[in-house]
Amino acid sequence: MDRIRISGGNELRGTIPISGAKNAALPLMIASLLTSDTLTLENVPHLADVELLMRILGNHGVDIAVNGRRERQEDGYSRTIHFTCRTIVDTTAPYELVSKMRASFWVIGPLVAREGRARVSLPGGCAIGTRPVDLFLEALQALGAEIEIDGGYVNVTAPKGGLVGARYVFPKVSVGATHVMMMAATLAKGTTVIENAAREPEIADLAKCLNAMGAKISGAGTRTITVEGVTSLSGARHRVLPDRIETGTYAMAVAMTGGDVILEGTQAALLENALDTLRMAGAQITETESGLRVVRNGNGIQPVDVTTEPFPGFPTDLQAQFMALMTRSSGVSNITETIFENRFMHVQELARLGAKISLSGQTARVEGVPRLKGAPVMATDLRASVSLVIAGLAAEGETTVNRVYHLDRGFERLEEKLTRCGAVVERVSD
């Protein structure tokens, strides 16, 4: 099993290209099930989750062609991929595939919208809480679907004549359930109004793509999304938006180590709250023609309290990385997690590097220390794993991060990008 070995202490200087967003690419890929024409996606990141979802889509009958690369870009970075689903050959998403990645459950919306039925295994993925699928199923029921859970599978059947538009108020904001209901509603008869919808940029990106395919969606990015159903969707060409979580992660790495880095190809508007928080912590962040420039000021890392919230608040997917940064602050910070109930598994691993963190319910109290010291640590989930990398970049001596397959799920060629900016990071295979 691969490990990442880090020799800490180097500042980061140079340019880091920001990849396409995993959290946008996955629902966009799933949207290919809604049409018999070709959906072409540009800027798709080369990640383990993307590869797994391609296998799942292939199981349903999607023909996938990967070709080309962006001009002046090295092999291995984000790709252009063509998805064509002339016929859905199987409406079952099996346990052995869905159990490996939660987002693959989202195929349930397009399958039932296009074929009138779906049989999808209950999902798996990172162990960061139960994350029930109730909201997904209630949203589909609002569109007229009948649902039965049997033997670990969700069986969904549309009424005769297909799904029917409806008004639905999510009792709790859910990015995944908003994606699924929006996709399903595109082929429903009549108008669907989604209230208390998720507002994340990835929601608006999916709506933009679906509209290019012939859907009629308005309000994406606000709390109320309106979808006027159409009889069919066509193909389209769409570019995946930049990864705001990767942007924030590398910005925090620069704030942690010092240095001066251009984050190329990203947009400040995708994570304004997180950037404002980083500025309070001592980073200087400015927009450039090519992206964002991040420099740590000369006053060190300042303590800042944060609470995770749905967009446009501070992202839960940056909580672990920010906690790593706060371990080296000049005071005490409090980090409160409100999205997932079990997302502090990185605390004990950061403690192995010398961090002082105490937990009280959903709040972590982080007392900054003057130095961290390298040690072997274990990644527990995707975002926790990269927080250990950030800590290792600033730790004295050598840090070894085990279980890096978590990193491969969400960060495209992380060690290469860091090495190009002066970090001493290498992948080690047994």
- Going by C-alpha positions, the residue among 200, 183, 289, 202 that lies closest to residue 240 is 202
Calpha distance 230→390 (Å, rounded)? 47
Strand 291-296 relative to strand 63-67, pairing: unpaired
Question: In angstroms, rounded to a whole number, what is the distance separating the alpha carbons of residues 166 and 194?
Answer: 8
CA 275 vs. chain centroid, Å, equals 17
Residue 78 confidence (pLDDT): 74
State whether 332 and 215 are in the same domain: no
Q: For residue range 182-209, what is the model confidence (pLDDT) as tens digits?
A: 999 999 999 999 999 999 999 999 999 9
Phi, psi for residue 163 in degrees, rounded to 5 = -65, 155
Q: Are residues 191 and 254 in the same domain?
A: no
Query: What does each C-alpha distance from 119 to 92, 116, 137, 145 come to in angstroms?
Result: 5, 11, 12, 13
Asked if 173 and 138 sit in the same domain, the reply is: yes
Exposure on the CB side of residue 102, measured as CA atoms within 13 A:
17
Task: Tell me the mean pLDDT in the region 302-306.
Answer: 98
Of 197, 212, 239, which closes a domain? Answer: 239
Co-location of 15 and 52 in the same domain: no
Question: Does 423 lie in the same domain as 297?
Answer: yes
189 and 304 share a domain?
Answer: no
Scanning 31-115, the segments in alpha helix (DSSP H) are: 48-60, 95-98, 108-115
Residue that is last in its domain, among 239, 259, 277: 239
Separation between Cα atoms, residue 195 and residue 270, nearest integer Å:
22
pLDDT in tens, 388-425: 999 999 999 999 999 888 899 889 999 999 999 999 99
Catalytic residue among 85, 126, 209, 421: 126
Query: What does each C-alpha distance from 229 to 91, 212, 303 come to in angstroms?
Result: 22, 14, 49
Residue 70's pLDDT is: 46
175 and 48, same domain (yes or no):
yes
Q: What is the CATH number of the domain that holds 32?
A: 3.65.10.10
Binding residues: 22-23, 102, 131-135, 172-175, 317, 339
Question: Which two tokens mark 83?
Answer: 């998805």
The domain boundary, picked from 175, 205, 239, lies at 239
pTM of the complete model: 0.94
The pLDDT assigned to 124 comes to 53
Residues 225 and 276 in one domain: no
Whether the predicted pLDDT of 280 surpasses 80: yes
In 3D space, the residue among 352, 317, 314, 349 whose CA is nearest the CA of residue 333 turns out to be 314
Binding residues for phosphoenolpyruvate: 22-23
Q: How far is CA 183 from the centre of its chain?
A: 18
Same domain, 206 and 107: yes
Mean pLDDT within 225-230: 98
Indicate the length of the chain as a whole number: 430
209 is catalytic: no
Tell me the sheet residues that pair with 120: 93, 154
pLDDT of residue 77: 64
Predicted pLDDT of residue 99? 84
For the cut 80, the answer to whether the pLDDT of residue 74 exceeds it is no
Residue 276 identity: D
Domain that residue 298 falls in = 3-19+242-428
pLDDT in tens, 110-152: 999 999 999 999 875 444 344 468 999 999 999 999 999 998 8
> What's the domain count of the chain?
2
Q: Are 323 and 275 found together in one domain?
A: yes
Mean pLDDT of the chain: 93
| 274 & 209 share domain | no
Task: Examine residue 312 and say whether the peptide bond preceding it is cis (omega within 30 degrees of 0).
Answer: yes
324 lies in the same domain as 412:
yes
Three-state secondary-structure class, residue 410: helix
